[in-house]
Amino acid sequence: MQTDRLLIAYDLTFATPFHFGTGIREGLIDRTVIRDDGGYLYVPGSTLKGVLRERCEQLACFYEGASARGRSPHIPEVALLGLGNNNPPMVTRIFGSQNRPGQLFFDDAQQDNLQTAEYDSQNPRERGGHGKYKTLQVDVSTQVRMDRPTRTAVPGALYTSEYGTNDLVFKGIIQGWLECTPIKTDQPDTQEMVPTYSLLLLLAGLHMVEQLGGNKSSGKGRCACHITGAKVNEGEVGIATLENWLGQLDALANYGKEGA
């Protein structure tokens, strides 16, 4: 068992409009999107964490089978039985559970300076425009809620929503500590870095993130998550190495076996 200091940088690129709501009405807008204190859209780290956990749970169930489903940390009885367990599920190692806090932190994904500069002035490289073009970050859509049995509009259910525009790119970081067992290789004397089971599951889950935010049923929030860099114990991990690791996903089926 080992504990690694971990940092993963990623880009989120949206292919369709998206909505991360504030729950607050503003003027004629019933559903506003979340902004930082500078007025720029961002992706809450908690939103990514929730979707990523779901993807990792799906992968764990696929590779570990019924044993993973039977020890889900979402089941209170299972969580209680897990007290003092030195070999918790991979998902619990990454995200924590009711009795085992996670040690990874998911920062909010922000737009970079060049992208936000486009909203400050007509010249993307010219600062000082006081954000007069920040409205270009969003589109506004007016909709009505339908009564499905009668196929008619629900009285008083006309509402207006903000959506972030597609093609926006957000840069985020996941960092902290991850404890798990290294994956065994056929070449025990190799000097190449090998991932732990939980790290491999986390990387695969990031590649599976394809939709975030509200209104998913109408196609909103479709995105792609690209890992742009990684460090394990302050050592850089190249993109080629990450891709090689992702080609070894079948190894996840061995978690918890033979002392793994």
What's the pLDDT tens digit per position in 177-217? 998 888 876 655 445 678 899 999 999 999 999 999 998 88
Query: Which helix (H) or strand (E) covers residue 143, if one does?
Result: strand 138-147
Supply φ then ψ for residue 109, to 5 degrees: -90, 125
3-state class (DSSP) for residue 186: coil
Predicted structure pTM score:
0.84
Long-range contacts of 75-83 (CB under 8 A, 24+ apart): none
115 vs 158: CA distance, rounded Å? 33
Instruction: Determine the length of the chain.
Output: 260
Q: What is residue 159's predicted lDDT score, i.e. its pLDDT?
A: 82
Lookup: tokens for 242: 């990450």
3-state class (DSSP) for residue 254: helix
Q: Is the Cβ–Cβ distance between 194 and 206 less than 8 Å?
A: no
List the end-to-end C-alpha distance of the chain, in Å, as a whole number: 9
Residues 6+ apart with CB under 8 A from 41: 20, 33, 34, 35, 111, 137, 138, 164, 168
- Pinpoint the alpha helices (H) of the chain: 45-64, 66-69, 76-81, 90-95, 113-117, 197-208, 239-246
Q: What is residue 126's predicted lDDT score, i.e. its pLDDT?
A: 46
Which domains are present in the chain?
Answer: 2-59+101-254 (3.30.70)
Residues 6+ apart with CB under 8 A from 100: 82, 88, 92
- Spell out, as residue ranges, where the chain has pLDDT lower than 70: 65-86, 121-132, 185-192, 258-260
Place of tokens 């926006």: 168
Which string of DSSP letters, residue by residue, matches 25-40? -BTTBSBPBPB-TTS-
What are the distances in angstroms from CA 193 to CA 190, 196, 241?
8, 10, 9
Supply φ then ψ for residue 237, to 5 degrees: -115, 115
- Amino acid identity for residue 194 in this structure: V
19 vs 214: CA distance, rounded Å? 5
